[in-house]
Amino acid sequence: MRYFWASIAAVAIIALGSLFVWRTRVAFERIAREQLAAKGQAVPADSPASFGDIGLEMPSSQIAMVSFADFLISFRYLLIVLVVLICFGLAAFSGRARRPLSQSSQHRSTENVEAKSAGNAAGS
């Protein structure tokens, strides 16, 4: 069951990353078109790459978002594999890291009984 949730988490993270890239690109293109129209310059073709060096004033937060979106696009295949490996690795680790409470309490009570019987046998 934990691998099911790991796959759901991986798909959700990848989908959210894709949504972030799409929304960032749309917002950037809108801002660029508005600024170019206000300056009276010709608006480049639909390709976002054509917005490269046209001298736009952008807030630093928008520049950071666009840079991060470009990073996600540039390394998308590596990041997809990395997200899947991390999610499934955490799922595998979480299964080994903890033992159900009923097993651990039974294990402790068995150890206590064995220790008491060994102590009684040594005292006799």
Task: State the virtual CA torsion across 59, 61, 63, 67 in degrees, nearest 10.
Answer: 180
pLDDT digits (tens, 9 = 90+) for 87-97: 999 999 887 75
Residue 24 has pLDDT above 60, yes or no: yes
Angle, CA 28 vertex, CA 22 and CA 34 arms, to 5°: 135
Q: How many residues does the chain have?
A: 124
Question: What number is the average pLDDT over the span 16-26?
Answer: 93
The pLDDT of residue 34 is 84
Residue 49 has pLDDT above 60, yes or no: no
CB 10 within 8 A of CB 84: yes
CA distance 61 to 67: 10
pLDDT digits (tens, 9 = 90+) for 54-78: 667 778 888 888 889 999 999 999 9
pLDDT digits (tens, 9 = 90+) for 98-121: 555 555 555 555 565 565 665 555
Angle, CA 49 vertex, CA 47 and CA 11 arms, to 5°: 85
**Residue 33 pLDDT grade (very low, low, confident, very high; cuts 50, 70, 90):** confident
Choice between 40 and 15, residue whose per-residue pLDDT is larger: 15
pLDDT digits (tens, 9 = 90+) for 6-16: 999 999 999 99
